[in-house]
Structure formats: C-alpha cells, structure tokens
Amino acid sequence: MATDKVAYWIDIADYDLETAEAMYQTGRRLYVAFMCHQVIEKTLKAYWSKTQESDPPYTHNHMRLADGCRLYELMSDEQRDFLDIITNYNIESRYPEDKEALSRTLTDNVCRKIIDDTKQLQQWIKDKL
C-alpha cells in the first residue's frame, strides 16, 4: 500500500513540475512559484509515505513535513534555505495585496532559479526513496 501512495504523490508532483514549466513559458510567474511549492510538498509527502507508518499530515509547511519524516536532518544548509524560501510561496490563502507584492519579486531569472532549485531538491528526495 505504501508503494501506491508513494507513486501517487510522485505522479502529481511531476505533473505540478510540468505545470510550473508551462506557467514559466506563459509568463505566469506567481503560479510558477506556487506550483514549485506544490512539487516540494508532494515529494515530501511521498517520502513521508515511504518512511512513516502514518499518512502525511494535512499541512503545506515544508519544514514540518521534512522534520516529521526525518529528512530535514539529512539536508544541506542550502537545501534547508531553499525549503524555507519555497514554503513562502503557498499563495492560495494570501490576500490580494500580498500576491501583488510577491508577484513583483518574481522576475524571469528568479522563476528560472526556483524551478531549477525545485528540480534539484525533488530529485534529491526521489533518490532517497
């Protein structure tokens, strides 16, 4: 059963990564960041499903997920820093003025780096599966 859950989380994380790339190509920068947030969240939930007895918690907090499945302690400082950054892009509950301010910080170069860093962290987590 855990294998099915892992595959489920990885499949939708991979789909979200493709969506982030599509959003980048169409200039929808705010959604690039949000989808990358989702990629990391879902990949962490895959790792949780593989390594823990319980289902992953209903949370968008990457640090809580990584710490809860003991992955955080294995991460480099750079990976931890990125986790902190990407956690901030959970925009579904933000107010419009927050979205506008965040959107102004998301240049093409910043979005490309977010995607690239997301790919690297996602692959690192997948390698641990």
The amino acid sitting at 33 is A
Q: What is the pLDDT of residue 47?
A: 97
* CA-angle at 94, arms to 107 and 21, nearest 5°: 40
Cα separations in angstroms, 92 against 30, 54, 78: 11, 26, 26
SS3 content of the chain, % helix, strand, coil (to 5): 75, 0, 25
Q: What is the pLDDT of residue 125?
A: 98
Cβ atoms < 10 Å from Cβ of 73 = 8
pTM over 0.75: yes
Handedness of CA 97, 112, 19, 49 (dihedral sign): negative
In this predicted model, what pLDDT tens digit does every residue of 44-103 receive, in sequence order?
Answer: 999 999 999 999 999 999 999 999 999 999 999 999 999 999 988 886 556 677 777 787
